[in-house]
Amino acid sequence: MLKAYVTRWAERDEPDGHLTDFWFDSHIENAACWLTKEDADDDAAIFGTSRVIIPSADGGTHTCSGFTVEQRAPRKFVIFCMAPFVTGTNWRVVGIR
């Protein structure tokens, strides 16, 4: 299992508006930042319901869960998840709302 930080996310335009692309990185300095823990907690909960599916290092696919908030610095909160990401430092995957 690797720790990967959310770096950004973007909802697609119609007709794929039900899909959201997520980008992850293994380096905390590349993570997206929230100013408050409350805002980060809210988005982490939303990410957890988005069925973020990644190619698994174990073969097949894995649905990410357990998005967690971590304080990086004062007024800088980041979101990560632990999952069997394929080895590398940067990943782009799709979530379904």
**Running along the chain, 97 residues long, what does each successive block of 10 average in pLDDT?**
93 83 93 98 94 90 95 97 82 60
The pLDDT assigned to 34 comes to: 98
The pLDDT assigned to 87 comes to: 77
Indicate the domain borders of the chain: 2-96
The pLDDT assigned to 95 comes to: 60
In angstroms, the CA 32 to CA 74 distance is 14
- What's the order of all strands across the beta sheet hosting 19-25? 61-63, 52-55, 90-96, 19-25, 2-11, 76-83, 68-73
What contacts 44, CB < 8 A, 6 or more positions away? 67, 68, 69, 79
